[in-house]
Amino acid sequence: MGKMSTQKQRQALGALLVERGLLTWDELEQALAEQKRSGQLLGTLLIQSGKLSQEQLLPVLAEQVGMPYVRLGERPLPPEALAKVPPKFASRYRLVPLSFERGLLRVAIADPFDVQTLDELRLLLDCALEPVLASEGEIHEAIQRHYGIGASAVERLLGAGTQDAVPARVGEELTEAVNEASVISFVNQMILSAVRDRATDIHLEPFDQRLRIRQRIDGVMYEMPIPPDLFKLHQAIVSRIKVMAQLDIAEKRLPQDGRIKVRLDGQELDLRISVLPTAFGESVEIRLLSSQMLFSLERLGLGDDHLTQLVRFIEKPHGIIFVTGPTGSGKTTTLYACLSKLNAPNVKLLTIEDPIEYQLTGITQLQVHPKIGFTFAQGLRSMLRHDPDIMMVGEVRDPETAEITIRSALTGHLVFSTLHTNDAAGGVTRLLDMGIEAYLVASSVLCFIAQRLVRVVCPACQEPRAAPPGLREEFGLTDPPPSMLRYGRGCPACKGTGYQGRTAIYEFLPVTEAVQRLILQRASSHDIAHAAQQEGMRTLRQDGGQRILQGVTTPDEVLRVT
């Protein structure tokens, strides 16, 4: 009888979906046939097949079972409701308490047919329950937002005492132990949450009676929700990270650096670990690098003219290309894309880096070790004995490295490197300040490229808005800008920021005859930049203006980075 009743309910759901215009009768018949064969719920099959999204299905499912449907979003939850449901219950039963009034607890659940769970909760919490329907993804986000990441594991750990650091397996799968009540579980959940939020860094920062964990998403720092008592487990968490990175867990007075290789859903991740001693304990920075990242010139965000210029430069037999910009501006990614383009069986490529950020198949990569005397300068001398065609020097930091790099370009090698300057013309001044002769700079450098990363307007919530006044003058636009520009309104997909992902803006300064003459005269960077603009160079802000007109980013974002 129960089985016949369930089948009737599923058919009723299908009929409602057809009535709402979300399915055709043919699609419903196919789904019912598949449901009969597999035994899965009709709604699950429709979502898996891509016929419906969860947001389309749940309101109809709620109507069918006579249960209210709610969108959790960023809604605040009352303290009395959160206090009624401990973190371990919220995590185990996948529910969110919405309100608690006069002995009635209103909870959001994802499965309206799980009657057993509701009965268990009534007994455990000793109160009446009113269930409402919400999406599983929103429930998961609400649990993390209001209880904190790994709240269930932290609650049980603080009740039972911490454990000793457990040895880490090389390349372990993070998803295997996230449900265990352990420090291992918390660290895994923290990394998983950061990866799924598209974070590039995680920062663990101890303060007096408080631990703050932040992640960097699209270049901006956001605080991660964590249980307030987590600071009591700070040392255990640091020890676990040190064990994973094969660092000395007994050394707490000196900085340490390491790396961890892990897997997440079949994808390999390379985690770079840096530990610093502070007044309140050790601060940890974890950089997240995906080994499956694709490096392609076409995907860097270059304009058509810049792409043509860059391809022309990297096809030269010798010379040096400098990419300039502050830390975190994507310089290494641009260089890797150039190397990937040039990587071929008939070409010898060597790099020397600190650190090696990504492993590139077919390219010999060297890691500097200053503590044992293996510096950029020493590595460069040794690299030349291997007869490379193309070389990459991670960064020119000192006069010795600069001179060897430039002389390598003059002796028949194509060289790529980076400099820390604010603009492309500043690269000339930086090299001259290092003591490099002006004639060496003028005759060896092909191009200085400055770049910055700007956030991209979120495609899920983009909308037209009136362009601000003075746009043409601010960004040096040649044509009048349109009256409407694209902005992100803010939605769950972009965490309310209006931006999702980043792209690069560029400033190309080719070393032409006119620029060479100014270098030999030791002219100022302002004069060099002015001469380059006379020859058609777009500044970073002007290139950002082009991205604004294309609807890629916003005026505020370009002004923020330039």
Quickly list DSSP for 11-32: HHHHHHHHHTTSS-HHHHHHHH
What φ, ψ does residue 446 adopt, rounded to 5°?
A: -85, -40
Q: Which residue has the higher pLDDT, 168 or 16?
A: 16
pLDDT band at 101 (very low <50, low <70, confident <90, very high): confident
Report the pLDDT averaged over residues 255-268. Answer: 82
- Quick one: tokens of 15? 């009929």
- Identify the CA nearest to 501 among candidates 464, 549, 547, 559: 547
pLDDT band at 173 (very low <50, low <70, confident <90, very high): low
Cα-trace Rg, the chain: 29
**Confidence check: pLDDT of 180 > 50:** no
Query: b or e along 385-403 (b: 16 or more beta carbons within 10 Å of the residue's beta carbon)?
Result: eeebbbbbbbbbbeebbbb
Q: Which of 72-81, 182-191, 463-472 has the lowest mean pLDDT?
A: 72-81
In this predicted structure, what is the pLDDT of residue 19?
Answer: 73
**Confidence check: pLDDT of 217 > 60:** yes
Q: Which residue has the higher pLDDT, 86 or 220?
A: 220
Query: b or e along 230-250 (b: 16 or more beta carbons within 10 Å of the residue's beta carbon)?
Result: bbebbbbbbbbbbbbbebeee
Question: What is residue 452's three-state secondary structure?
Answer: strand
**Confidence check: pLDDT of 481 > 50:** yes
Report the pLDDT averaged over residues 390-417. Answer: 89
Q: Which of 195-204, 222-231, 400-409 has the lowest mean pLDDT?
A: 222-231
**Confidence check: pLDDT of 556 > 50:** yes
pLDDT band at 241 (very low <50, low <70, confident <90, very high): very high
Q: Which of 5-19, 169-183, 304-318 has the lowest mean pLDDT?
A: 169-183
Beta partners for residue 451, in sequence order: 506
In this predicted structure, what is the pLDDT of residue 433?
Answer: 92
**Confidence check: pLDDT of 381 > 50:** yes
pTM: 0.73
Cα 413 to the chain's mean position, in Å? 35
The rounded percent of the chain whose pLDDT value lies above 70 is 88
- Quick one: tokens of 131? 């269930």
The rounded percent of the chain whose pLDDT value lies above 90 is 30
Would the CA dihedral through 255, 259, 264, 267 be positive or negative? positive
* Exposed/middle/buried for residue 410 (C-beta within 10 Å: 0-12, 13-18, 19+): middle
In this predicted structure, what is the pLDDT of residue 6?
Answer: 41
Highest mean pLDDT among 6-20, 117-131, 305-319: 305-319
Report the pLDDT averaged over residues 505-520. Answer: 94
Highest mean pLDDT among 7-21, 28-42, 334-348: 334-348
> What CA–CA distance (Å, rounded) separates 551 from 543?
13
In this predicted structure, what is the pLDDT of residue 521?
Answer: 94
Q: Which of 77-91, 166-180, 297-311, 352-366 has the lowest mean pLDDT?
A: 166-180
Report the pLDDT averaged over residues 398-425. Answer: 90
DSSP secondary structure string for all residues of 506-561: EEEEE--HHHHHHHHTT--HHHHHHHHHHTTPPPHHHHHHHHHHTTSS-HHHHHHH
**Confidence check: pLDDT of 346 > 80:** yes
Q: Which residue has the higher pLDDT, 355 or 413?
A: 413
> What CA–CA distance (Å, rounded) separates 137 from 40?
20
In this predicted structure, what is the pLDDT of residue 7?
Answer: 42
In this predicted structure, what is the pLDDT of residue 354?
Answer: 82
In this predicted structure, what is the pLDDT of residue 1?
Answer: 35
Name the one residue in this structure whose structure tokens are 């937002």: 145
Report the pLDDT averaged over residues 31-53. Answer: 72
Helix extents (H) in 360-425 = 376-384, 399-410
Q: Which residue has the higher pLDDT, 48 or 530?
A: 530
Q: Which of 146-155, 278-287, 311-320, 454-463 has the lowest mean pLDDT?
A: 146-155
In this predicted structure, what is the pLDDT of residue 162?
Answer: 46
> What CA–CA distance (Å, rounded) separates 252 from 238?
10
Query: What's the DSSP call for residue 106?
Result: E
- Identify the CA nearest to 143 among candidates 204, 59, 227: 227
In this predicted structure, what is the pLDDT of residue 276?
Answer: 94
Query: What's the DSSP call for residue 101?
Result: E
In this predicted structure, what is the pLDDT of residue 158?
Answer: 63
pLDDT band at 10 (very low <50, low <70, confident <90, very high): very low
Q: Which residue has the higher pLDDT, 3 or 385?
A: 385
In this predicted structure, what is the pLDDT of residue 537?
Answer: 92
Report the pLDDT averaged over residues 196-211. Answer: 90
The DSSP H or E segment spanning 457 is: strand 445-457
Mean pLDDT of the chain: 83
- Identify the CA nearest to 6 among candidates 31, 33, 39: 39
Beta partners for residue 450, in sequence order: 324, 507
pLDDT band at 11 (very low <50, low <70, confident <90, very high): very low
In this predicted structure, what is the pLDDT of residue 151?
Answer: 66
> What CA–CA distance (Å, rounded) separates 367 from 318?
24
The answer to whether residues 451 and 507 touch, using CB atoms and an 8 Å cutoff, is yes
In this predicted structure, what is the pLDDT of residue 179?
Answer: 45
pLDDT band at 505 (very low <50, low <70, confident <90, very high): very high
pLDDT band at 164 (very low <50, low <70, confident <90, very high): very low
Name the one residue in this structure whose structure tokens are 């609807």: 551
> What CA–CA distance (Å, rounded) separates 28 from 57?
13
Q: Which residue has the higher pLDDT, 102 or 163?
A: 102
Query: What's the DSSP call for residue 161?
Result: -
